[in-house]
């Protein structure tokens, strides 16, 4: 078990199973099929991300370095939350980009029945340590425990 401390972008606490990518996470390519065609498990549709492709993202602790891709990224995150097909939390090893931050914050502020904690700046050691299937606990203060 190891504990990491990051910066809170969207508040909340959660305990979930980890899914991990060491490459950039393309929000549109990953979640578009789920949002358009009703896949409630939100299987990753980004064929350019072999670590996540085909894996369910809904309800999981998504561990990533950063998001990449289209300027629609923030809207995709917000829509996934509105449709309840979002990851349980987003845990960034790097600083969050403005688009992912915007979507996460808007979901937190505008949606009353959705909680998706977002923590960034967890560091490279976090992303090296966490593996698919590990249990991740996020606390309100940005503390993330991986076991």
CATH number for position 137? 3.50.30.10
Average pLDDT, the chain: 97
Predicted pLDDT at 103: 97
What pLDDT is stored for residue 86 in this prediction?
A: 97
Q: What is the mean pLDDT of residues 128-139?
A: 98
* Mean pLDDT value of segment 138-143: 98
* pTM confidence score: 0.97
Query: How many distinct structural domains can be found in the chain?
Result: 1
Confidence of residue 53 (pLDDT cuts 50, 70, 90): very high
Model confidence at 70, pLDDT cuts 50, 70, 90, reads: confident
CB burial readout 96-130, b (16+ within 10 A) else e: bbebbbbbbbbbbeeeeebbbbbbbbbeeebbeeb
- Residue 108, domain extent: 2-146
Q: What is the dihedral of CA 59, 62, 66, 70, to 10 degrees?
A: -30
């Amino acid at each position: 078990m190891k504990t990491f401390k990051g910066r809170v972008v969207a508040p909340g606490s959660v305990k979930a199973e980890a899914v991990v990518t060491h490459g950039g996470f393309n929000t549109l390519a990953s979640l578009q099929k789920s949002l358009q065609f009703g896949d409630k498990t939100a299987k990753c549709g980004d064929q350019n991300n072999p670590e996540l492709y085909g894996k369910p993202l809904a309800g999981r602790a998504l561990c990533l370095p950063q998001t990449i891709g289209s300027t629609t990224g923030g809207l995709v995150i917000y829509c996934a939350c509105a449709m309840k097909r979002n990851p349980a939390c987003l845990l960034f090893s790097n600083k969050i980009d403005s688009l992912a931050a915007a979507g996460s914050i808007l979901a937190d502020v505008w949606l009353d029945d959705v909680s998706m904690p977002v923590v960034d700046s967890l560091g490279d050691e976090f992303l090296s340590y966490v593996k698919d299937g590990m249990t991740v606990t996020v606390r309100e203060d940005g503390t993330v425990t991986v076991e």
